[in-house]
Structure 1
Amino acid sequence: MNVTQQYLLDTYRAHHLGEAAPPQPGAHDWQVVREWRDRREFRAVLSGRLARGRARRLWSRRLRPRLRF
């Protein structure tokens, strides 16, 4: 049984029991990503490293056109 089938079965059961429908699969994915990022930044602060800007600096170096003289 895949995720969609399980979701439809749970929705059907909830409807017949008069309960609230379960959240759709993937509805909270971005929230999980944000919590993971916050935890990573928190652990960086505890270990004495900078928590913000590391990824931004990395991508700006990679995406910025290099000046050649």
Structure 2
Amino acid sequence: MNKNNLKFIFALTIVIFFSSCASTPEIYNMSVKVSTVDINNNPLDAICTIFSSSNKKDIIAPTQTTFATECHHSMCM
């Protein structure tokens, strides 16, 4: 195998490696309805935190809010 073939194979391997490992997550806006109740199932105001690996939001429940989070395409379908 000559030197040019080795360079080509090495370059091709690097390109494939980086293209397969690089994935950009998509941002999804999710509508979330949060209700909180006491032990007797009566509505209760509460401070809540909604979080994911990419975002965090503090809210006062009960409420409906939009939460932006990141998901890889295959996980959010």
TM-score scaled by structure 1?
0.29
Which structure shows the higher strand fraction?
Answer: 2
Q: Is the radius of gyration larger for structure 1 or structure 2?
A: 2
Structure with higher helix content: 1
TM-score (norm 2): 0.26
Higher RCO, 1 or 2 (CA under 8 Å, sep at least 6)? 2
